[in-house]
């Protein structure tokens, strides 16, 4: 399929949304089959300059008389490209380029052939992941989110559909359409998220911050343990009501190791200040990975089942104090500052 069918243009680069690095020469972009679609966008397999890519085509609706939807789609497009253009980390999807020619917008990213975490879990047919694989995937996601937060960005829609795998099963965070910069966004503005994974403060339109992503991560961990969608028996709006009105959470299986159960419960804690930071989560998951490698089990990790053990775990997490804040105001440990400063 020729790109001219979508953009009515052939030849050199057209108007670009962000930096010169994001320029797209449409004469070198070729679209293949569509592999996903939404209300206003479609995803295509493509080739750009001999590189396999995913091409997101966003089409403005023709029947939007008051222009509200057009404005929202353009805002999401600009926000996604702007944020992706400055995020460089192995667990974050890589932006290849973008172009804007109303009524059509185009975002080109690396093509991740492993599909989504949602598809991966669906193929398991409600069977739980083996622990080494589960911890490896969770660590990939947590490291990606740790980096995203260190750059002052909130994803706001972390869920299995937005976690993609490359051919080596390395997990990468994708879909930054409703992501935002924490320092500059309106905390009370209504933005679409996904109710099943949405933090209570966000559902209630109360002021919120980057800990909404930690809450969502707790639900993702639970899904990997159970192979089940959260609140599967409820409609999304019913689940949202139960979360804010009854403080409902999914039931964690009894066979889940106590240390991992404690991590899930901390992530989806009602109060954001009780949730750990992602750099702390990374530390915990690394400890879990080490325990699996040495003992083949997580059962030997200090079990926080009683009040005293749980207090010990919380104290251990709190001792992992970062030593300095980065330019975005997020605290980072020395190793992380060095890693991220290398770009």
- Chain segment 82-136, per-residue pLDDT in tens: 999 999 999 999 999 999 887 789 999 999 999 999 999 999 987 878 999 999 9
Torsion of CA 314, 211, 56, 120, to 10 degrees: 30
The answer to whether 270 touches 200, Cβ cutoff 8 Å, is yes
Can you list the positions of beta strands (E) in the chain? 29-37, 41-48, 51-59, 95-101, 104-110, 115-116, 153-154, 163-165, 171-173, 180-181, 324-325, 331-332
Position of tokens 């937060």? 149
pLDDT given at position 219:
98
Chain centroid to Cα 327, Å, comes to 22
**Is 64 designated active site?**
no
Q: Which CATH architecture has domain 4-110?
A: 2-Layer Sandwich (3.30)
Full-model pTM = 0.82
- Among candidate residues 116, 97, 22, the one with its CA nearest the CA of residue 55: 97
Catalytic residue among 63, 64, 140, 157: 157
- 198 phi and psi, to 5 degrees? -90, 135
- Among candidate residues 286, 253, 294, the one with its CA nearest the CA of residue 146: 286
Residues in contact with 184: Cβ distance below 8 Å, sequence separation at least 6, in sequence order: none
Residues in the chain: 343
According to CATH, where is 3.30.200.20 located in the chain?
4-110
**Cα–Cα distance, 270 to 219 (Å, whole number):** 13
- Is residue 317 pLDDT above 70, yes or no? no
According to CATH, where is 1.10.510.10 located in the chain?
115-341
CATH of domain 115-341: 1.10.510.10
pLDDT given at position 187:
61
- Using DSSP's 3-state secondary structure scheme, residue 106 falls into strand
The answer to whether 340 touches 147, Cβ cutoff 8 Å, is yes
pLDDT given at position 68:
82
- Among candidate residues 54, 57, 148, 29, the one with its CA nearest the CA of residue 110: 54
Mean predicted confidence (pLDDT) in 241-252? 96
């Amino acid at each position: 399929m020729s790109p001219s069918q979508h953009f009515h243009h052939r030849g050199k680069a057209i108007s670009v949304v962000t930096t010169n690095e994001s320029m797209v020469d449409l004469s070198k972009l070729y679209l293949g089959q569509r592999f996903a679609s939404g209300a206003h966008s479609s995803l295509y397999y493509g080739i750009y300059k001999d590189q396999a890519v995913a091409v997101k085509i966003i089409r403005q609706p023709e029947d939007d008389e008051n222009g509200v939807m057009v404005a929202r789609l353009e805002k999401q497009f600009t926000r996604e490209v702007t944020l992706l253009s400055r995020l460089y980390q192995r667990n974050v999807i890589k932006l290849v380029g973008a172009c804007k020619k109303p009524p059509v917008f185009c975002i080109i990213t690396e093509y991740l052939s492993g599909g989504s975490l949602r598809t991966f879990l669906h193929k398991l047919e409600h069977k739980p992941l083996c622990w080494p694989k589960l911890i490896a995937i969770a660590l990939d996601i947590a490291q990606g989110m740790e980096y995203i937060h260190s750059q002052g960005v909130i994803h706001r829609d972390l869920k299995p559909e937005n976690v993609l795998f490359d051919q080596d099963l390395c997990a990468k965070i994708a879909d930054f359409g409703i992501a935002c910069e924490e320092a500059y966004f309106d905390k009370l503005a209504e933005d679409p998220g996904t109710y099943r994974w949405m933090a209570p403060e966000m559902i209630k339109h109360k002021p919120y911050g980057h800990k909404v992503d930690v809450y969502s991560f707790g639900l993702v961990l639970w899904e990997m343990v159970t192979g089940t969608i959260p609140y599967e028996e409820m409609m999304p709006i019913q689940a949202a009501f139960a979360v804010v009105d009854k403080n409902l959470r999914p039931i964690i299986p009894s066979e889940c190791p106590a240390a991992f159960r404690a991590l899930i419960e901390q992530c989806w804690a009602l109060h954001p200040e009780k949730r750990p930071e992602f750099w702390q989560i990374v530390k915990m998951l690394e400890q879990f990975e080490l325990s699996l490698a040495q003992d083949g089990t997580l059962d030997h990790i200090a079990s926080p089942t009683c009040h005293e053990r749980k207090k010990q775990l919380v104290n251990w997490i709190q001792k992992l104090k970062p030593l300095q804040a980065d330019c975005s105001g997020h605290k980072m440990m020395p190793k992380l500052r060095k890693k991220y400063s290398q770009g």
